[in-house]
């Protein structure tokens, strides 16, 4: 698929995602306790996640017939293929259920082994971040870039706290201690897709987290890369979409952040 085709598909997908975001926004405050399921430790889901995913799958199947899906809620058969959609219908479900204003729809398209399209739609602020391979990164139609910050000391860093995998938490706490002393501050919003989108537009200078799933990060990774940023795993390699350990930064602070993380991992 060439750049022109990807741009057109991205625009169509943005319209679909916006309609799903409208549905999610309309359900805020309506989910009662008995309608919330616990999938695993601290992993919640409701009919809103599942309905949003079904809406996305139906619409994306029409936009790109024959494409396959990898989705968080598994409302459709999970399969590989030349074109595979990677979907988190509601990233930040816990925030949504507690009516905290940071949650998003995340949709990425993978062609063979490469992410070629990514959309993160932050529901509350109606902000549509999108990117396609070779086409740059955009926010509500305006081109965006990562920040020009050149030192860790001037950085605002985002992260996510461990909530089910606590095996390496001592290393994570050590990293936080170093960052508290060497940056302008740390933030934890509770939605990795939004964190990555905010790195892509320069609101955050860096984001790191472990224990992530592919649907949490696939779209956001492309946003950061197309906005001029750097993405790696904790070893500086490229196993960040499926490897569960991700670092995404403005280019000027990548080396310092990676070095700090490596010191503890």
Say whether both 187 and 127 belong to one domain: no
Residue 140 CA, chain-centre distance (Å), reads 17
Question: Structural domain tally of the chain?
Answer: 2
| Tokens matching residue 246 | 């991700």
- Burial status of residue 251 (CB atoms within 10 A of its CB: 0-12, 13-18, 19 or more): middle
The torsion of the CA quartet 94, 96, 99, 103, rounded to 10 degrees, works out to 110
Q: Note whether 175 and 135 are same-domain residues.
A: no
Which CATH number goes with the domain that contains 223? 3.40.190.80
Q: How far is CA 203 from the centre of its chain?
A: 15
What's this model's pTM, rounded to 2 decimal places? 0.94
pLDDT digits (tens), the chain, 265 positions: 899 999 999 999 999 999 999 999 999 987 766 666 665 544 556 788 999 999 999 999 999 999 999 998 888 889 999 999 999 999 999 999 999 999 999 999 999 999 999 999 999 999 999 999 999 999 999 999 999 999 999 999 999 987 666 677 888 999 999 999 999 999 999 999 999 999 999 999 999 999 899 999 999 999 999 999 999 999 999 999 999 999 999 999 999 999 999 998 7
How many C-beta neighbours within 10 Å does residue 218 have?
28
Q: What domain range is 238 assigned to?
A: 152-264
The pLDDT value recorded for residue 37 is 67
């Amino acid at each position: 698929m060439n750049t022109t085709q990807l741009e057109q598909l991205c625009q169509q997908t943005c319209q679909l995602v916006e309609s799903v975001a409208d549905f999610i926004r309309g359900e805020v405050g309506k989910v009662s306790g008995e309608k919330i399921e616990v999938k695993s430790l601290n992993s919640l889901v409701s009919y809103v996640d599942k309905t949003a995913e079904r809406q996305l799958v139906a619409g994306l199947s029409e936009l790109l017939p024959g494409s396959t899906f990898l989705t968080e809620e598994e409302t459709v058969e999970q399969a590989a293929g030349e074109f595979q959609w990677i979907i988190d219908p509601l990233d930040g479900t816990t925030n949504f259920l507690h009516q905290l204003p940071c949650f998003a729809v995340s949709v990425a398209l993978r062609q063979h082994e490469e992410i070629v399209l990514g959309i993160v739609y932050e529901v509350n602020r109606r902000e549509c971040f999108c990117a396609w391979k070779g086409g740059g990164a955009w926010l509500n139609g305006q081109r965006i870039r990562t920040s020009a910050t050149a030192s860790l000391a001037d950085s605002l860093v985002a992260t996510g706290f461990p909530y089910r995998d606590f095996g390496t938490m001592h290393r994570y706490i050590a990293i936080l201690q170093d960052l508290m002393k060497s940056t302008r501050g740390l933030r934890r919003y509770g939605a990795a897709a939004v964190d990555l989108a905010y790195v892509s537009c320069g609101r955050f200078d860096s984001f790191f987290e472990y224990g992530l799933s592919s649907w949490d990060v696939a779209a956001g990774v492309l946003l950061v890369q197309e906005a001029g940023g750097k993405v790696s795993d904790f070893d500086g390699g490229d196993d960040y979409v499926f490897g569960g350990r991700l670092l995404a930064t403005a280019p000027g602070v990548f080396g310092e952040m990676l070095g700090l993380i490596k010191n503890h991992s």
